[in-house]
């Protein structure tokens, strides 16, 4: 992974994607993105994986001073989203960790030693006031963990979708518009199927209501941990693809050779 590929990328006013990935696979990458909102009360959204800790902290603190960080939002407790939360919170003495109650329980059980006074429990529909904007907690349509919540910024109309809207792509990419449409669509469908295999057999009417709830938001951009930023026409197309997912044949599992390729750079990469 070249330095340019993991440089923070501005996606809206005061809002930056912090891109990273698993290893240096040549044919398929697993993106491990986070986000920083550099507003009146700066917010770090998801904390990346432990394997990339030094780079993650350097990128975040290149955008905002540790003492200025007021909020850390963790979408759920999977290690690629919460892997650096304790290190980040220790480095940011004025930050409050906002997450679901079940994520709190799981992180505490895993040994996260934060004081209870530094936690804020949030649930679907809650609003976090961060001074110059309101952040709305909302569960994305698809997820792989029951603890998952996304985050909608009412100022920029950027939605952090956690795992939803990810894409399996041949290389690290920060903007979906930079990927040929067919390649992006295929990667989008495959990723949702790999990541949320339980969508097979959905009650279609129920599923359409879930997508309707999300589509009702006015969105300028969708950022996620595992794919490029989705904008404009691609947002509309992504929502169409979500609606169609239950009708697609079950996706084939990842081949061993693809898994080996994804992991090929882990031992030799500098993290």
Phi-psi category of residue 248: left, alpha or beta, with phi > 0 → left and psi -120 to 50 → alpha: beta
CA distances (Å), origin 145, targets 62, 85, 107:
31, 17, 14
* Rounded Cα–Cα distance for residues 147 and 106 (Å): 10
pTM, rounded to two decimals: 0.91
| Lookup: tokens for 124 | 């679907």
Question: How far is it, in rounded angstroms, from Cα 50 to Cα 149?
Answer: 21
Spans of the chain below 50 pLDDT: 1, 3, 268-271
Among residues 8, 33, 27, which one has the least CA distance to residue 222?
A: 33
Under a CB-based contact definition with an 8 Å cutoff, are residues 244 and 26 in contact? no
Burial environment of residue 21 by CB neighbours within 10 A (0 to 12, 13 to 18, 19 or more)? buried
Digit-coded pLDDT (tens) for 163-220 = 999 998 888 899 999 999 999 999 999 899 888 888 777 788 999 999 999 999 999 9
In the chain, what are the domains?
A: 3-263 (3.60.15.10)
């Amino acid at each position: 992974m070249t330095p340019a590929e993991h440089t923070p990328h501005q996606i809206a006013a005061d809002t930056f994607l912090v891109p990273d990935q698993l290893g240096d696979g040549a044919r398929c990458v697993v993106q491990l993105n986070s986000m920083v909102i550099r507003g009146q009360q700066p917010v770090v959204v998801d904390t990346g994986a432990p394997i990339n800790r030094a780079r993650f902290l350097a990128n975040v603190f290149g955008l905002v001073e540790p003492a200025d960080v007021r909020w850390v939002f963790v979408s759920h407790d999977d290690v690629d989203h919460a892997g650096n939360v304790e290190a980040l919170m220790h480095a940011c003495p004025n930050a409050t960790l906002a997450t679901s109650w079940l994520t709190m329980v799981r992180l505490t059980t895993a040994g996260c030693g934060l004081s209870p006074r530094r936690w804020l429990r949030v649930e679907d529909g809650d609003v976090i006031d961060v001074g110059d904007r309101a952040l709305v907690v909302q569960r994305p349509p698809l997820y792989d963990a029951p603890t998952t919540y996304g985050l909608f910024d009412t100022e920029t109309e950027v939605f952090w979708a956690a795992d939803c809207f990810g894409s399996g792509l041949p290389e690290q990419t920060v903007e979906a518009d930079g990927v040929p449409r067919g390649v992006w669509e295929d990667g989008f469908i495959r990723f949702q199927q790999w990541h949320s295999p339980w969508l097979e057999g959905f009650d279609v009417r129920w599923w359409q209501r879930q997508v309707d709830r999300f589509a009702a938001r006015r969105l300028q951009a969708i950022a996620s941990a595992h794919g490029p930023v989705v904008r404009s026409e691609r947002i509309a197309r992504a929502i169409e693809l979500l609606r169609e997912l239950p009708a697609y044949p079950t996706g084939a599992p990842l081949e061993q050779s693809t898994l080996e390729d994804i992991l090929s750079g882990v031992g030799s990469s500098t993290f």
